[in-house]
A and B are shown apart, each in its own frame.
Chain A
Amino acid sequence: MKLIKKGAEADIYQTMWQNSNAILKIRKTKNYRNSSLDSKIRKQRTIKESQIISQVKSFGIPAPLVYFVNLKNTSIIMQEIPGTPVHDLSESKIIQLSKTIGKLVGMLHKNGIMHGDLTTSNFIFFKNNVYVIDFGLSQNTIKPEDHAVDLRLIKEILNSAHAKIMIPAWKNFLLGYKSVVGNANYVKITKLVSDIESRGRYAQVV
């Protein structure tokens, strides 16, 4: 098996599953973590991720198919999406795809799911489609506050990693998001995003 990425949480290997290319995502023990905390986190996230991937596929979010879950070594074998992470695309392409990403996030929220780790590395552009991956921190929740946490995270990423194109990308994201969740929800959730930001350290307060 070929190691293709050492992610934050898991190691990603390229492998085969019944004659098709597949990805093995394995959450290995982290020695620096207290062992009972470590095994709890790894197990919980493996279960959550596999469950939620299946859920989101059922309402039409492009995401990898889950082939096999092994709770003993906390690993998941899933379909390989051989595209490019949005993070690595050209700036103009990222601006353009921000709208699609906004729509996808809107669909997740509308169906009661928060992604929990919305970064531009977790959207893969493949064959003119944007796939969503990495549901390890996802939750089933309809609480608007949780949805706002999602939005604030992607905003933070755009503002840091993609600072040059933050304004048009964020605008497009919100356009896409609004078109799916509707104006009332959009107003409510973006207001909560400002609330979260104002709780931050040294936020601009009047």
Chain B
Amino acid sequence: MLGLGIESTAHTFSCAVIEKKGKKGKILSDVRKIYRPADGEGIHPREASRHHIENSSLVLSECLDEANIKVNDLDIVSYAGGPGLGPCLRVGAVVARSLASFYKIPIYPVNHALGHIELGKLLTGATNPLVLLVSGGHTMLLAFLNKQWRVFGETLDITLGQLLDQFGRSIGFASPCGKNIEELAATSSNYVTLPYSVKGNDVSFSGLLSATKSVAKKSKVDACYSLQETSFAMIAEAVERALSFTRKKELMIVGGVAANKRLSEMLQDVCKRHGAKFFVVPLKYAGDCGSQICWTGLLESQIKKGVSLKDTFVTQSWRLDTVKVNY
């Protein structure tokens, strides 16, 4: 079975083709174009959606060429229905609807966060993990129970990705800033005390963001180091709490911040202590990509026939824990 997935929730416009055989999936192509705001600035939804519109046909045709298939070969098309930025989501949905109605291909709206998890499971081989989803849009600890992903802990305000990006922008980096911060942090070992806020399995980052900004006035390097140490230790503690509470024997980390090596290193240590297996999604597929949408759509197609065009919604706030998973 051949599926096309279209991702357009935020910075990234991406199309991917996956071939599904039984429980196995093979990524035939995954093409991306990423909108880059100016240094020190955040994503502008209108500009991002314009970027997506301008690049959409190019990305789509490149993706089909690379997979060496034609639109007619596709069995399904899926798109990210949310959560994300309204104007951006609409671009992906329009492309998907056009293909679906013109070529009569079944269409599936997919939850973007669920996409991160399903692709992570496909690529890492994790079977029943506690999932840490850390990205610009999410900071959540999830476990699967009674056909739904349940939230065992999450951020009470901004996400880990936002924390890093907003701080990074304040010292002049361009979003996404995680990599720059990681590099700068690696050159310091001078820890400045910052607010550490763990509430049960939940974390809160907004106070930490303001405090780090004021540390940066004295030393950007120390600020980056201390920010990473504090926020990652908070995440690691929340993970430990959730591991010990759910008694899961696997931890899988997905989402853009999964690319950070220091975070992985800390979580690996946590897993060792709790006798849990550690899985991290491969770097190339940590961030937003068409494959995550495509694979989840293919999984859904096992039990659903697709939705009619009038139900091809986009929803800016579509929480993962409201999605029923029946496949």
Contact = CB atoms under 8 A, between A and B. Distances in A.
B150 A37 contact: no
Nearest to A149: B199
Contact of A9 (B146, B153, B240): B240
B8 interface: no
Interface string A117-151: 11101000000000000000100000000000100
Given A8-B243, A118-B200, A201-B137, A37 B191 contact: yes
B230 A37 contact: yes
B200 A203 contact: no
A160 B143 contact: yes
Contacts of A185: none
Contact of A119 (B143, B245, B265): B245
Interface residues of A, number: 38
A32 B269 contact: yes
Interface in B130-146: 137-140, 143, 145-146
Interface in A28-48: 30-34, 36-38, 40-41
Contact of B233 (A7, A37, A200): A37
B154 A201 contact: yes
Given A34-B191, A153-B201, A205-B317, A8 B229 contact: no
B202 interface: yes
A153 B202 contact: yes
Contacts of A157: 152, 200-201, 245
Interface of B is mostly: mixed
A34 B229 contact: yes
A31 B265 CA distance: 11
Interface in A95-125: 116-119, 121
Interface string B193-218: 10010111110000000000000000
Contacts of A30: 236, 269
Contact of B193 (A7, A40, A119, A204): A40
B133 to A, nearest CB: 10
A159 B317 CA distance: 19
Interface in B99-150: 137-140, 143, 145-146, 148, 150
Contact of A163 (B145, B200, B267): B145
Nearest to B113: A202
Given A6-B273, A32-B267, 16 more contacts: A7-B244, A8-B245, A9-B237, A9-B240, A30-B269, A32-B266, A33-B233, A33-B236, A37-B191, A37-B229, A38-B233, A156-B201, A159-B150, A161-B246, A199-B156, A201-B154
23 contacts: A8-B241, A8-B243, A8-B244, A30-B236, A32-B236, A33-B236, A37-B230, A40-B193, A117-B200, A153-B199, A153-B200, A153-B201, A156-B151, A156-B200, A157-B200, A160-B150, A161-B150, A163-B148, A199-B156, A201-B83, A201-B319, A202-B317, A202-B319
